[in-house]
Amino acid sequence: MGASVANRGGGTRRRGRARRGGAKPMSEINVTPFVDVMLCLLIIFMVAAPLMTVGVPIDLPDTSAEALPSEQEEPLTVTLAADGRVMLQTTEVARDEIIPRLQAIAAERDSPRIFVRADGGIPYEQVMEVMGALNAGGFREIGLVTDAGGPRLDGNPEVGE
């Protein structure tokens, strides 16, 4: 994006000497490289944005339930990993620290909803212990996160099959 000098004299120039008044600075900016770079960045961010939903890798159980409506702010998630770790968002926390931390975070948020993500191999009892602790801590809107496309109990096939 630099300026260059255009020779408009039409004649020959000698090397090393500049003609007085014949060389004028070019005041146009070439925006083509700028547009190329911006389009490349746009494509990179469009591809990378879906990959930025960072979470703890767990094997969620499948269900045929419909998804909840989306919210404006990022939902609070408590994750129970298969190896027994408990995560608040992506940070590992001790089980006795979950409620105080959630209460401190929830005081600054608009939505009272909390999502529980539990690995499918975790015993039901452990999931219910965490949900009971959340409920006792004052959190009433608790959602369970699952993968879509699971079995239906009414005998009807899944939509799209």
- At 61-105, the pLDDT tens digits run 666 666 666 556 677 888 888 888 888 888 888 888 888 888 888
Which residue segments constitute the domains of the chain, with CATH numbers given?
62-148 (3.30.420.270)
Query: 12 exposed, middle or buried (CB, 10 Å; 0-12, 13-18, 19+)?
Result: exposed
Q: What whole-number distance in Å separates Cα of residue 124 and Cα of residue 116?
A: 13
100-138 pLDDT tens trace: 888 888 778 777 788 888 888 888 888 888 888 888 888
- What is the pLDDT averaged over residues 142-161? 68
Q: What whole-number distance in Å separates Cα of residue 59 and Cα of residue 81?
A: 9
